[in-house]
Structure 1
């Protein structure tokens, strides 16, 4: 587990929906090179916390720090420009583009002039960064095992590969912080293992800090060095996978008494 200074922090975060407290004083710290899991029963506040961390929702209380600076009022685009990426439960590929072009588009948001359409229809271009974007797309395709379907339309991908494409798009422009929402949903066991290998490589080799929400508890326990458990908007427990599995409160609230190590 990384012992470096946190790159992303939630401090005393609270969110209310009318009279319901979706988050209540949540503290969380994520460090470079760390893979941390966020689990809990439905309605625990996991997605709401992701929304706060990524800038989609402002908290009613508390703050979010990125590199030690308060970014609570910063937009999602500002956070993305400073290295934060996020995926969503619902897959949102550009279905009428190829898999490779989805990764080119994922890097286009930084701009540079000339427009996207000219690139994708093969119009002449003198932009020097075009080759760099294509080269990066090829690297990520190889990393995520998508090279064989690079020229397939994204809409035609089966669920498992579509999930991997979501991850590939999130890391096409190299992230410093990666928030993954249900990344293994719909994947086979082999696909989940491939996903795990990619996530661990991003953390170990590129120093990316990864926070993931996932209902597949086995996946979380295998890939994460640390696990945070939310229940009713509060942090119920935090620790290594072994510590969380052994916590009686967690077993009662989420894992169930029949779960074994």
Structure 2
């Protein structure tokens, strides 16, 4: 199957620091791909490039074969590229339901249709009883799920999830995984997620890409990546047991 997302030769420098160096990542429609690596590996910078927040110094980003390297974040969002962030971006003064309705307003369809879509996502994401709750008072785990629902409000083609399981309980992570699988399998969405909870990544993602010092260190099936001695040395071994829920400092990485 042709890749829906294809980034090739991506390079980004911050002064004398090479944040990304000849990075290549592909994700097919219907696939959930994990992106892991130690803090400072360049994961957030790569997401900034893919979502249009930062223009790379070199390389290209293709969406379903179309070069979008110079396209704005707004253009990408309106053509199906959705992203969540490490830090919550909900409108705290709006209810959870209204956050989902607002995410669809650019299409200018009937309000009833937007509210119907919001109701569907509230149900899928287990947020029905919180529909009228102001987003600003949600606990972290529920806020993360509300952000995912908002990213899905206008059906995405490419979904970029930046530490979506951070702060979630085991039960919430289970629901998150179920929703992500559903979006990929039933709607054909390509999903790329960054997550420090390694066991979550290994259970959810069939394929994993590992970044280290701005370069792709390893890529392949989850179990093969878990067993790669280079990955164990650079990331998994320093974060904890490779068979356990390895997590490291969730600080923003560049």
- TM-score, normalising length: structure 2: 0.93
Alpha-carbon distance between aligned partners in 1 of 2:159 and 2:25, rounded to the nearest angstrom: 15
Aligned to 1:107: 104
Aligned to 1:89: 86
Alpha-carbon distance between aligned partners in 1 of 2:136 and 2:48, rounded to the nearest angstrom: 26
Alpha-carbon distance between aligned partners in 2 of 1:98 and 1:74, rounded to the nearest angstrom: 31
Deviations 1:121-147 (A, max 9, x none): xxxxxxx61111010000111110000
Shift of 1:17: 0.4
Aligned Cα root-mean-square deviation (Å): 1.1
Alpha-carbon distance between aligned partners in 2 of 1:27 and 1:95, rounded to the nearest angstrom: 36
The reply on whether 1:11 has 2:8 as its aligned counterpart is yes
Aligned to 2:24: 27
Deviations 1:201-259 (A, max 9, x none): 10011111000000010110111110000000000001111001110000000000742
Gaps of 5+ in 2: 245-254
Aligned to 1:37: 34
Matched residue count: 242
The reply on whether 1:226 has 2:185 as its aligned counterpart is no
Alpha-carbon distance between aligned partners in 2 of 1:243 and 1:210, rounded to the nearest angstrom: 20
**Inter-CA distance 148–64: structure 2 relative to 1 (3 Å threshold):** same
- TM-score, normalising length: structure 1: 0.91
Alpha-carbon distance between aligned partners in 2 of 1:47 and 1:72, rounded to the nearest angstrom: 17
Shift of 1:260: 3.3
Gaps of 5+ in 1: 113-127
Residue 76 of structure 1, aligned match among 73, 76, 86: 73
Shift of 1:109: 2.9
DSSP-derived class of the 1:198 partner: helix
Shift of 1:98: 0.9
Aligned to 2:186: 205
Alpha-carbon distance between aligned partners in 2 of 1:206 and 1:64, rounded to the nearest angstrom: 22
Alpha-carbon distance between aligned partners in 1 of 2:195 and 2:232, rounded to the nearest angstrom: 17
Residue 64 of structure 1, aligned match among 61, 65, 79: 61
Residue 118 of structure 2, aligned match among 130, 137, 143: 137
Aligned to 1:245: 226
Deviations 1:6-25 (A, max 9, x none): 01111000000001100000
Deviations 1:159-204 (A, max 9, x none): 1100000100000010010000010000011110110000001001
Aligned to 2:175: 194
Residue 50 of structure 1, aligned match among 47, 70, 79: 47
Task: Give the alignment of 1:143-222 within 5 angstroms.
Answer: 143-222=124-203
The reply on whether 1:259 has 2:233 as its aligned counterpart is no
